Chain A
Amino acid sequence: MTSVAHAKPAGGAHDAHHAPMSFWRKYIFSTDHKIIGIQFLFVSLFFLLVGGLLAMQIRWQLGFPGKPMPGGGILPESMVSGGVILPEYYIQLVTMHGTFMVFFAIMPLLVGVYANFLIPLKIGTHDMAFPRINMWSFWLALLAGLIMLAGFFVPDGAARCGWTMYAPCSARPDLSGATYSQQLWSISIVVLGLSSVMGSVNYITTIINHRAPGMTWFRMPLSVWALFITAILAVLALPVLQGAAIMLLFDQTIGTHFFDPGAGGQPLLWQHLFWFFGHPEVYILILPAMGMVSDIIANGSRKPIFGYHSMVFAIIGIAFLGWIVWGHHMFMSGMNPTLGSTFMVSTLLIAVPSAVKVFNWMGTMWRGNLRFHVPMLNAIGFVSMFTIGGLSGIFMAATPVDIPIHDTQFIVAHLHYVLFGGSLFALFAAIPYWYPKMFGRMMSERIGKLHFFLTFIFYNMTFFPMHIIGMGGQMRRIYDPTIYDFLKPQQPINEFISYSAFALFAVQILFAFNFLWSLKFGKKAPQNPWEDNGMEWSLPNPAPHGNWDKTPNVYRGPYEFSAPEAGDKDYLPQYVKLPTDRDPIPAPLSAGGH
């Protein structure tokens, strides 16, 4: 057994052959996938903050209904009167919190940032297949976000019918009480859909055609697999939402009747279209998180991922089942109950691939040599919290049990366990993990650990009790639960949740500080700080424009941790050529195309 020489790989540190670019071309209207990823990162972190601030106001109102909100005075009288949140502002808050978090924070954070940043780096190519379309995808996403944000500044305030925009509420200004912002919502979604489709076309094409020699399908890291399947979901789901949003926009503006029951329109049609998009969207929001967590857990455990193939098939299975479960959002909608039975079965089946993933992550940790760096801690947090979110989903999937908990805080708890406990913990793992690759510096481990433990505690204190008040029957999106006799006894829990939520928000300041401070003062990152196997670690930090000078070769799968050939090291990167390795045979057709 020869010991592996971890020689400096054939990375291209020099930009010499690239013409020097102006600041604008390099950092603003950049076509470099890494810069675009970083642009997405800053923009979506901003929208994450917006969504968080909205959530804090929701929590104030639910914890202390009718009491003047501290600092509420800075908001206009049409939203907050005498410090008291008005009911019409409250429904704007819940609507925009959901909209921003789903469409402008989590989705771009996972897909916009990490699909852009990781795909070319991890498959060993120089850039996306269509760099200019990629740039447009970012600018359209930003435009969509700004249009959505503009909703707060038009007369009557932001859109108000819930992030699902159920018609006819959303279609008729006299019923929602808002005109312009409802239209802005529709326009923003159409623009965002365009951005998403552009991005996804890019991701799919790049992954299919631009993999480096030797990067076979089953040598791709699970993060790339997940992003690939996610892109397929996005490319097929977003246009459906776009179509629906266009119909809604026409209902709102030129007086068409798609969702107007008075003229034969069908309110349930909106729900079917929305959830036909919406359920794949749920997986768009979790699959990339699963993929990245898989990479990080394998790294932290110093072990190959347990059951790589079944992990891939689980991703595909989840994505496939994701198309035939949309009706489970509509069990109580008046849809034919027989359809409900069908959707129940398909929904319950989704638990199977999800369970496989959880057990495989555990299998990966089993007999590993666990390193608890911040990404690993957050990844373990992801597994344990996603498990709760997944299991609580079974309650809703079983239709009779769904009856009392549908549209209650139980659902709110469930979706936050998946989206916060799942997606956001995965991001808290992914951001520090690839931070050195983006900025050349490490985020502080000490602050990171403190942030993880505090977030984990307050997060559970915030969202777990929501299950209980949901079981007690507290409906979603109600402004003041205390007017109901059956909800009054639960008010102390609501208060407790609010305090926890404020603490949770406060803890995120640690993360923001860590993120921003490390940009300038973080420890300089070594080339492969996590001793990982991915192709991206063959490059210097931050990775240069164009990535590699020469397309790299790939010699093995992505998870060869603790492989016997690795000798005294416990990792064996994909780019390292052992004496026993032969170079891959070049593809018969030039894969690049141009």
Chain B
Amino acid sequence: MKGRIFSVVGGMFLLTVCSKGDGTVQAAPPAAQPAVPTADVSAAGGTITGKVKFTGTAPRNPAIDMSEEAACKAKYKTTPTEENVVAGPANALANVFVYVKAGVPAGQTFTAPTTPVVLDQDGCRYHPHVLGIMVGQPLEILNTDPVLHNIKAIAKANRPFNVSQPTAGMKTTRTFAAPEVMINLECNVHGWMHAYAGVRPDPFFSVSKEDGSFTITGLPPGTYTIEAWHEKFGTQTATVTIAGTETKPANFTFAAH
């Protein structure tokens, strides 16, 4: 640790470059589907698709009292709630991060797309609430609200960061250097604001939609362990074998306790 400090001191001039790189604003347009990045994997691979559901009754999402932030409150017609459990019709479960946990041959590397994943802070909530991103892929954090948000990333494998955006329209771009499921993102000014980012070295991940569906494409033949992660309900795994350009199902059912 001490050695690190001294190397930091020694390289202080070089580090000006680093500190610049940390927060460079990128003018790239937001991707159409921010949660599902496009990686340069041939479309010829196999596909895993399925639905995520839950059993039991979902806990009620607490209402958010936004009366201190008039600018945010004005964006809602009804009282907004937190997004701990977003359920669709027929007990479909959204915001589940599904990814290939094991099975991708070791040593195989994937190039991260340069299109950023956009995390928008709008109406004092994060959009999207759960996102997947590749190692090295830019994460563009955008503040649409005219109020201060800070974005604190609580990470273990990656370097944690905590940056703030006091005015509307501010953008900060960050990248993650190591795979990590999940990185918690939170705003300490608005205690209800939480988002989760799954950082993967490969493009084989997806986030379930409102109807609980997810799709992972481009998988080469092999046997994979698929894990589904939900912020309240924990994780579940499934094993899927892909033989060619086929589409295999994988469904997950969580128990709401």
Q: Residues of A with Cβ closer than 8 Å to B?
A: 66, 76-78, 81-82, 84, 86-88, 147, 150, 153-157, 173-174, 177, 180, 183-184, 187, 253-254, 479-480
The minimal Cβ–Cβ distance linking A341 to chain B, given in whole angstroms, is 37
A-B interface, 3 closest residue pairs, ranked by CB to CB distance from nearest: A77-B23, A78-B23, A177-B162
Q: Judging by beta carbons under 8 Å apart, are B9 and A147 in contact?
A: yes
CB-CB under 8 A from B16, the residues of chain A are 76, 153
A residues near B8, Cβ cutoff 8 Å: 150, 154, 180, 184
Total interface residues on B, CB under 8 Å, equals 33
- 8 Å CB contact of A153 from B1, B13, B169: B13
Contact B24 A183 (CB under 8 A): no
Docked complex Cα distance between A26 and B13 (Å): 30
Q: Quick one: which of B126-160 are within 8 Å of A by CB?
A: 148, 150, 152, 154, 159-160
A355 CB to closest chain B CB (Å) equals 45
User: Bound complex: CA of A479 vs CA of B189, how far in Å?
Assistant: 14
B15→A153 contact, CB < 8 A: yes
Nearest-neighbor residue (CB-CB) of B10 within chain A: A150
Residue B91 is within 8 A (CB to CB) of chain A in the complex = no
A-B contact pairs, 15 of them (CB 8 A): A77-B20, A77-B22, A78-B19, A78-B22, A82-B169, A87-B148, A147-B9, A150-B12, A173-B160, A177-B162, A180-B8, A184-B8, A253-B1, A253-B5, A254-B1
Q: Which residue of A lies closest to B14 (CB)?
A: A153
Question: Is the beta-carbon distance between A187 and B162 smaller than 8 angstroms?
Answer: no
Tell me the complex Cα distance, A253–B25, Å. Answer: 32
B249 to chain A: which residues have CB within 8 Å?
A: none
CB-based contact A153/B5 at 8 Å: no
B167 touches A66 (CB 8 A): yes
Are A157 and B166 in contact (CB-based, < 8 A)? no
CA distance A184 to B18 in the complex (A): 17
Could you say which residues of chain A place their CB within 8 Å of the CB of B110?
Answer: none
Collect the chain B residues with CB atoms within 8 Å of residue A150's CB.
8-9, 12
Interface SS of chain B? mixed
Known contacts A184-B5, A187-B5; is-contact A157 B19 (Cβ 8 Å): yes
Rounded to whole Å, the gap between the CB of B70 and the closest CB of chain A is: 11
Known: A77-B25, A88-B164. 8 other contacts (CB 8 A): A76-B16, A76-B20, A77-B172, A78-B22, A87-B150, A174-B154, A177-B162, A183-B5
The answer on a CB contact under 8 Å between A88 and B163 is yes
Which residues from 1 to 58 on chain B have a C-beta closer than 8 Å to any C-beta of chain A? 1-2, 5, 8-9, 12-13, 15-16, 18-20, 22-25
Nearest CB of chain B from residue A264's CB, rounded to whole Å: 23
B165 within 8 A of A: yes
Q: Do B9 and A77 touch across chains, with their CB atoms under 8 A apart?
A: no
User: Which residue on A lies nearest to B162, using beta carbons?
Assistant: A177
Q: Assess whether A76 is in contact with B163, with CB atoms less than 8 Å apart.
A: no
Closest chain-A Cβ to B121's Cβ sits at a distance in Å of 14
Q: Given known contacts A84-B167, A87-B164, A87-B166, is B20 in contact with A154 (CB within 8 Å)?
A: no
How far, in angstroms, from A155 to B5 measured CA to CA in the complex? Answer: 12
> Known contacts A77-B172, A254-B1: does B20 contact A174 (CB below 8 Å)?
no
Question: In the complex the two chains form, what is the Cα distance from A120 to B160 in whole Å?
Answer: 53
Whether A76 contacts B19 in the complex (CB less than 8 A), given A81-B165, A87-B148, A87-B164, comes out as: yes
Contacts of B2 in A (CB 8 A): 253
Report if B102 contacts A (CB, 8 A). no
Residues of chain B lying within 8 A (CB to CB) of residue A480: 166
In Å, the complex CA distance between A466 and B88 comes to 56
Which of A81, A157, A180, A253 is within 8 Å of B170, CB to CB?
A81
In the complex, which residue of chain B has the Cβ closest to the Cβ of A479? B166
Smallest distance from the beta carbon of A117 to chain B beta carbons, Å? Answer: 30
Determine the chain B residues whose CB is within 8 A of the CB of A66 once the complex forms. Answer: 166-167
- Specify which chain A residues have a CB less than 8 angstroms from the CB of B150 in the assembled complex: 87-88
- Please measure, in the bound complex, the distance between the C-alpha atom of A87 and the C-alpha atom of B165, giving whole angstroms: 8
- In the complex, chain A residues whose CB is within 8 Å of the CB of B15: 153-155
Residue of A nearest to B189 (CB): A87
Residue of A with least CB distance to B5: A183
Chain B residues whose CB sits within 8 angstroms of the CB of A173 once the complex forms: 160
> Are B5 and A180 closer than 8 Å at their CB atoms?
yes
Contact: A154 with B12, CB < 8 Å? yes
Q: How far is the CB of B112 from chain A (nearest CB, A)?
A: 21
A contact residues around B23 at 8 Å (CB): 76-78, 81
**How distant is the Cα of A78 from the Cα of B172 in the complex, in angstroms?**
8
Q: Is there an interface contact between B164 and A154, defined as CB atoms closer than 8 Å?
A: no
Query: Smallest CB-CB separation from B154: which chain A residue?
Result: A174
Contacts of B163 in A (CB 8 A): 78, 86, 88, 177
**Is B172 touching A81 in the complex (CB atoms < 8 A)?**
yes
Task: Report the separation of the CA atoms of residues A77 and B13 in the bound assembly, to the nearest whole angstrom.
Answer: 17
Rounded to whole angstroms, the CA-CA distance of A82 and B165 in the bound complex is: 11
The interface centre, meaning the residue of B150, B166, B169, B170 with most chain A CB atoms within 10 A of its CB, is B166
What chain A residues lie within 8 Å of B152 (beta carbons)?
174, 177
B166–A154 touching, CB < 8 Å? no
Bound-state Cα–Cα, A590 to B148, Å = 69
Residues from chain B with a CB closer than 8 A to the CB of A153 are 12-13, 15-16, 19
**Smallest distance from the beta carbon of A249 to chain B beta carbons, Å?**
9
Give Cα A77–Cα B169 distance, bound, in whole angstroms. 14
Residues of A within 8 A of B169 (CB): 82
A81 CA / B25 CA spacing, docked (Å): 9
CB contacts (< 8 Å) of A147 on chain B: these are 9
In the complex, residue of chain A having the shortest beta-carbon distance to the beta carbon of B2: A253
- Tell me, in angstroms, the Cα distance from A173 to B162 when the chains sit together: 10
Chain B nearest CB from A143 CB (Å) reads 10
Residues of B within 8 A of A154 (CB): 8, 12, 15, 19
B238 to chain A, nearest CB (A): 35
- A177–B22 CA distance with the chains assembled, in angstroms: 14
A153 to B18, CA, bound (A): 9
Contacting pair B164 A155 (CB below 8 A): no
Bound complex: CA A76 to CA B17 (Å)? 9
Give min CB distance, B183 to chain A, whole Å.
Answer: 13
Q: CB-nearest residue of chain A relative to B68? A: A483
In the complex, which residues of chain B have a beta carbon less than 8 angstroms from the beta carbon of A184? 5, 8-9
Complex partner residue of B166 from A86, A180, A253, A254, CB under 8 angstroms? A86
Query: What is the minimal beta-carbon distance from A244 to any residue of chain B, in angstroms?
Result: 18
Within 8 A of A (CB), among B155-193: 159-167, 169-172
Residue contact A156 to B5, C-beta cutoff 8 Å? no
* Closest residue of B by beta carbon distance from A151: B12
Distance (whole angstroms) from the CB of B13 to the closest CB of chain A: 7
